[in-house]
Each structure stands twice: as C-alpha cells, then as structure tokens.
Copies of this chain bind each other. A is one copy, B any other.
Amino acid sequence: MKCKSYETFFVNFSNKSKLNIITALRNEPLNVKTITKKINEEQSAVSHNLKKLSACHVLDVKKAGKERIYSLNKDTVIPILRLVEKHVIKNCSGSCCKK
C-alpha cells in the first residue's frame, strides 16, 4: 500500500496507544523500555506500534547498542498536533467528537 492514500498515515494518530507514544516522545527521544514504562503498556504491544509508526516515518529509529532510540518526526507531527489543538479549542469547547 502506498502513502498516496492517506488513511494509513492517519491510523497512526487514531488510537490511544499510538497517540500515547507520540505524546511521550514530544519532548525527547526515548528507548523502548522508557516509553513502555511511561505509557504503562506491554513491551510487546509498544513494539508492535513503534513498528507501524516508524514504517510511516512518523517516528525515526536509531540503534544504540542493544537499545533502540525512537524520536518524533517533528517536521510533520508537531504542526499537525498544533492544528488539531487549535481545532479543538475553537470547535469543541463543550464535548464533541462523540463516537
């Protein structure tokens, strides 16, 4: 599947676990264990998600010994999050986005 259909990209932001990872990395690159502790989920689940996130270049990885350090692709992610923040402030002052 190619990126030209954008749905795969957005899936990376459309559930809590993945969004937790993104949030955890907003300020600093982290290794898997630290992410796992920070968001309080199974290591295995985190790894599965990290794989998808980095397949889409939402995250970058680099190896450091036996660790892998994941970092946010800030060029794309930060501006998108900002837009959504703005959207929510403007449109969702009460509660919205109900399922």
Contact = CB atoms under 8 A, between A and B. Distances in A.
Interface of A: 1-11, 13-16, 19, 52, 55-57, 73, 75-76, 79-81, 83-84, 86-88, 90-92, 95-99
Q: How many chain copies does the complex carry?
A: 2
A1 B95 contact: yes
Contacts of A87: 9, 57, 73, 75-76
A3 B57 contact: no
Given A7-B15, A10-B19, 4 more contacts: A5-B19, A6-B13, A7-B13, A83-B83
A2 B86 contact: no
Contacts of A4: 88, 92
Contacts of A73: 87, 91
Contacts of A75: 87, 90
B14 A96 contact: no
